[in-house]
Amino acid sequence: MLSMAVFLPLIGSILSGLFPKFLGKKGVVWVPSILCVFSFIISTFLFHDAISGESYEFHIFNWIQSSSINISWSLKLDVLSGIMLFIVSLVSSIIHIYSIGYMSHDPGQARFFSYLSLFTFSMLILVSSSNFVQLFLGWEGVGLCSYLLIGFWYKKNEANNAAIKAFIVNRIGDLGLILGICAIYKTFGSLVYSEVFFRAYSFAPVDILILGQPIPVLELIGFMLFIGAMGKSAQLGLHTWLADAMEGPTPVSALIHAATMVTAGVFLVVRCSPIYEYTTYALGFITIIGALTAIFAASIAITQNDIKKIIAYSTCSQLGYMFFACGVSAYSAGIFHLMTHAFFKALLFLGAGSVIHALSEQNIKNMGGLSKHLPFTCIAMWIGCLALAGIPPFAGFFSKDIILEAAWSSHTLLGSISFYLGIVTAFLTAFYSWRIIFLVFHVSTKNNYEGVRESPMTMLVPIGLLSFGAIFSGWLGLDLVDTTKDFWVDSITVIARHGTLQYTHHVPLLIKLLPTIIAVSGIALAWIIYVKFPKLATIFSIKLRLLYVISYNKYWFDEIYEKYICDPIKSLGKFLWEKGDIQIIDKFGPDGISNFCINFASRLRKLQSGYVYHYAFSMFFGLIIFISWHFLVFLGVY
């Protein structure tokens, strides 16, 4: 069953990609979608087995065998992989069905659904892997598929540039992951999870010399692995690709942000909790990067006008919550938020897609009053934004609050910093999410919406299903963070001194209520600025001009990278090309050899003049040399 759940999307990808004429116009969209739904059904049973205590590895075949390393292709089922299989297959199935309506008029449907199913397969491989090599294969698979899907509309230069940017930025993070995997093999002599994690504690006191300085080997491994996670999950510094990825079709944005790609980094950190639990600086680094990313991305989202980019920066911010949860050893809270976030973020993207599908417009300033024309989409977006803002009883309330409570309970400096940054982020999150609601659906407008109607049922049904998830997944997932139950069994390791979730029951009532109070305040401020007194938005943008410009320009990260990293590298490349490649390698290499041969041949060619007396003279001269040689030999000179 486990292999079927993983490989069914791959079969759908192959059929849709290689046999579109055989499947027909309807087959290329329905076959991969149905196979993905079957994968979800099987994953549901596997999830039930996993939370019932069943854990095993399913061996498929021996993959790499040598005297020093043995890697088998096998799939791992435990509580963590069971939850991830369930989330990925469910959200992916819903997005597949949504895409049937959204991409109905696109001529590249077969290619799109092939890529989409391959994306799902790669993520399923990643989360079900039993060793780091197989995880890396899935890791690179989702990176490749993101490149293909972001650049799906390849005739648009913006899409091509965004795809290349995502691919290159992720390669930077992937270098860290590769170095981390190499360090794991060097340290443990194995890349199999069970062998590495079982022995991790014994290497806690072991140091490795780097430039003559002793560095704890687990700290080094932890840092390297997290650099990989930073790239894939768009954390501060390696985040610049995420907003540009919105150039792809909206279902792609939903899949990348909700179930695949960006969640891979969080999964990696949680899967490697047996390593991270014996580190101090690596966990601290994860905590502060997560907290800074959360507030950084939220501060950008409040001034953006592209509806998809606002939601994209929201994803970046929410991933920051997940990471600083992991940084304070609340791994289960991080996965809990990953689960609830998958539902309400996919809902927001698909809801935004419904708006874009109806208007062919993405700028929220060019919208307004759509609640009358798109009532179902409006209700769904309300639900998604309530969940994102963390308003009870919606899903985001449960998962985000437990993260903040865990940070408060950590009783560490970085934990306290992340708590307060998380509180400010909660305010900004509520503000920008309801800025979308008010500007898109409720502010009056002079736009003529004649002919604007709801999306087809193939789009509305998936939106409705995700709405239920955004409401109830928080209630249903409370067992994930219940410390009185051994829910995770051996999937997650938390040593005794890091048990922050156990102390969340003793958090003061004010601290428990504070995130909700802050979120309601953010919504109220958005209503005051954009509904009650709409001129305030212009006034604030003028009075707080510096802050507004910084936020609107995304802190100029792209410009800084372009000027101080990309341009110098391009200049260096041009210099090496002109001075090294052309003037040295080409001049003395291929070009030099070819020029010598041409010159030599041209001189030699002059001997072939075509005149008989020239040839006769040459023959006579040669004969004289021949006779002279033999005469000298006869005389004994030679």
Pairing mode, strands 207-210 and 56-65: unpaired
d(CA 547, CA 592): 59
The larger pLDDT score, comparing residue 37 to residue 605, is at: 37
- 579 pLDDT band, cuts 50/70/90, is confident
The H-assigned helical ranges of 360-412 are 375-389, 395-409
Per residue in 480-521, pLDDT (tens digit) is 888 778 888 888 988 877 878 888 888 899 999 999 999 999
Per residue in 85-100, pLDDT (tens digit) is 999 999 999 999 999 9
Measured from the Cβ of residue 546, the count of other Cβ atoms closer than 10 Å reads 7
Question: What is the model's pLDDT at position 209?
Answer: 84
What number is the average pLDDT over the span 621-634? 82
Using CB atoms within 10 A of its CB, is residue 407 exposed (0-12), middle (13-18) or buried (19+)?
buried
Closest CA to 158 of 255, 248, 240, 250: 248
Measured from the Cβ of residue 43, the count of other Cβ atoms closer than 10 Å reads 30
- Express as a percent the part of the chain with pLDDT over 90: 69
d(CA 153, CA 147): 11
The larger pLDDT score, comparing residue 192 to residue 584, is at: 192
d(CA 177, CA 226): 7
- 300 pLDDT band, cuts 50/70/90, is very high
- Residue 348: both structure tokens together: 């927001």
Give the three-state DSSP class for 186: helix
Q: Which pTM value belongs to this model?
A: 0.90
Closest CA to 482 of 46, 7, 51: 51
Question: What is the model's pLDDT at position 638?
Answer: 57
What number is the average pLDDT over the span 32-53? 94
Per residue in 439-480, pLDDT (tens digit) is 999 887 777 777 788 988 989 999 999 999 999 999 988 888
637 pLDDT more than 80: no
What residues contact 280, with CB distance under 8 A and at least 6 apart?
A: 219
198 pLDDT more than 90: yes
Question: What is the model's pLDDT at position 67?
Answer: 74
Pairing mode, strands 70-77 and 56-65: antiparallel
Question: What is the model's pLDDT at position 632?
Answer: 77
Q: Of the ranges 398-407, 455-464, 608-617, which one carries the lowest mean pLDDT score?
A: 608-617
What number is the average pLDDT over the span 579-585? 83
Per residue in 222-260, pLDDT (tens digit) is 999 999 999 999 999 999 999 999 999 999 999 998 888
Closest CA to 330 of 368, 276, 383, 253: 276
d(CA 113, CA 269): 30
Question: What is the model's pLDDT at position 615?
Answer: 75
What number is the average pLDDT over the span 399-419? 93
d(CA 287, CA 220): 16
- 369 pLDDT band, cuts 50/70/90, is confident
Gap between the terminal Cα atoms of the chain? 89
110 pLDDT more than 90: yes
Question: What is the model's pLDDT at position 355?
Answer: 93
- 430 pLDDT band, cuts 50/70/90, is very high
CA atoms within 13 A on the CB side of 329: 25
Radius of gyration of the chain (CA): 31
Q: How far is CA 610 from CA 80, 158, 616, 623, in A?
A: 86, 63, 11, 20
- Express as a percent the part of the chain with pLDDT over 70: 99
Per residue in 309-332, pLDDT (tens digit) is 999 999 999 999 999 999 999 999
Mean pLDDT across the chain: 91
